[in-house]
Amino acid sequence: MSERLFIRLGKTSEHSCSWLVWSEQEQEIIASGELPDAASLASLTERVGNRPVDVLVPAASMTLTQIALPEKGQHQALKALPFMLEESIASDVDDMHFVVGPRQGENINVVAVEHQQMQQWLSWLSDAGLKAKRIVPDCLALPLEQCRWAVMSFGEEYLLRTGEGAGVSLPQSWVSLALPKLLVDAQQQATDQQAIDVACYSDNVQFETQDLVLTAKPLELPMMVLAKGILHAPVNLLSGVYKPKREYSKQLVLWRNAAIITAIVIILALVNKGLAISQLNQQTAELRSQSEAIFKTVSPGINRIVNIRSQMDSQLRSMQGQGGGAAFFEMLDGLKPAFTQVPQLKPTSLRFEANRNELRMQVSADNYAQLDKFKEIVAKDFLLEGGAMNSNDDSVTSSLTLRSK
């Protein structure tokens, strides 16, 4: 879907919420605005439709920090991450939600936010009927654009991104106090002492230091800048216990539906198999009746048939030396596989010419395909001449002349 809804929540329900609908396909803003508080989020429900919802939250509501963590044994060390940060975080680590960000050298970025704060944001969205695809600290949505830092003025605050997974949200009046500490940390990590280039997305940003060089970027709505950057943000707070359960439920529903469909298919297959066996038994019985009727026709002296094959063999032996009789029964016996494989085809008349040793038949089938299949089978053992084929509403008839090879 080309249109996306972006929302920036406040720290408390009384703070205003900014929103924007952006069309990726048209590369333009569809609509934007600001809501007075979190309770007003419900007014966005109609705008959402089936659009994905990407949520920004203030970095001032959490702690973005770094911790030295060698790559070797990182997986085991991450399990102890809350206790490693216990001294640097004022809150009880048991009350915190930790999200690991990208690595920078020997340091790894970490975002720590209180569970209570996460639950508040999620409850606001849930009450408004909104489901977030991702929740990202606002400063990490600032595009770096090949610069080391990025900055933007948002209301009375500065959003400052100081690395791939690091940043802060500061009241503009605090910049002069916080900036020296941020510069010291940056210089400790840098391999050179050159001035830090900063991607600047506002025209009212001023830093009174020569250690920062502002590179002006195209001026756009602050929410537009964040909307473009959030899709590439390195952190999503919807992880761990907050990973959307709807994704798991959706997969579970898919598997459940697949299991139901599989069970239905198996049941239908068994029913179909049973019907096929029943139909085959019925066709076999009909073929047996037809064979017995034909046998009685050519053997008037036999009234009761117990085992048609045995009686046919006996009849053939008794007719040895009687010319065409033996040849006739041999041909009938040779036709049995063809009648078995094409049970829908039925003989309507038989005539045997002893002097020419040929059998003439009038047959009836449901369609031309059955007649062709019968001919193909018979032609393996007999010389076959087919007469004209006629069709009516529900059957196809033809005359066939067979001779022994």
Mean pLDDT by 10 residues, the chain (405 residues): 86 93 84 93 82 90 86 67 76 86 85 94 92 94 93 92 92 88 82 84 87 91 92 92 67 72 88 86 80 66 71 61 63 88 88 84 90 90 87 87 87
Tens digits of per-residue pLDDT, 299-327? 656 667 777 777 766 765 654 444 456 77
Q: What is the pLDDT of residue 321?
A: 41
Integer Cα distance of 178 and 149 in angstroms: 15
Q: What is the pLDDT of residue 124?
A: 95
Tally of CB atoms within 10 A around 88:
12
Q: Both tokens of residue 91?
A: 């809150």
Which has the closest alpha carbon to 111: 156, 174, 163?
163
Q: What is the pLDDT of residue 93?
A: 82
Radius of gyration of the chain (CA): 43
| Residue 110 main-chain phi, psi, to 5 deg | -135, 140
The pTM assigned to this predicted structure is 0.60
Q: What is the pLDDT of residue 322?
A: 44
Q: What is the pLDDT of residue 73?
A: 60
Integer Cα distance of 402 and 405 in angstroms: 9
Buried b (16+ CB within 10 A) or exposed e, 91-123: eeeeebbbbbbeeeeebbbbbbbbeebbebbbe
Q: What is the pLDDT of residue 3?
A: 81
Q: What is the pLDDT of residue 248?
A: 46
Tens digits of per-residue pLDDT, 265-301? 899 888 888 888 888 888 888 877 777 777 666 565 6
Q: What is the pLDDT of residue 103?
A: 85
Q: What is the pLDDT of residue 323?
A: 47
Cα–Cα distances in angstroms (integers) from residue 175 to residues 57, 142, 145, 206, 212, in the given order: 20, 18, 22, 10, 13
- Amino acid identity at 9: L
Q: What is the pLDDT of residue 199?
A: 94
Residues linked to residue 135 through DSSP beta bridges, in sequence order: 55
Q: Both tokens of residue 78?
A: 């991450």
Decide: 388 and 399 in contact? Cβ < 8 Å: yes
- Amino acid identity at 386: G
Decide: 131 and 181 in contact? Cβ < 8 Å: no
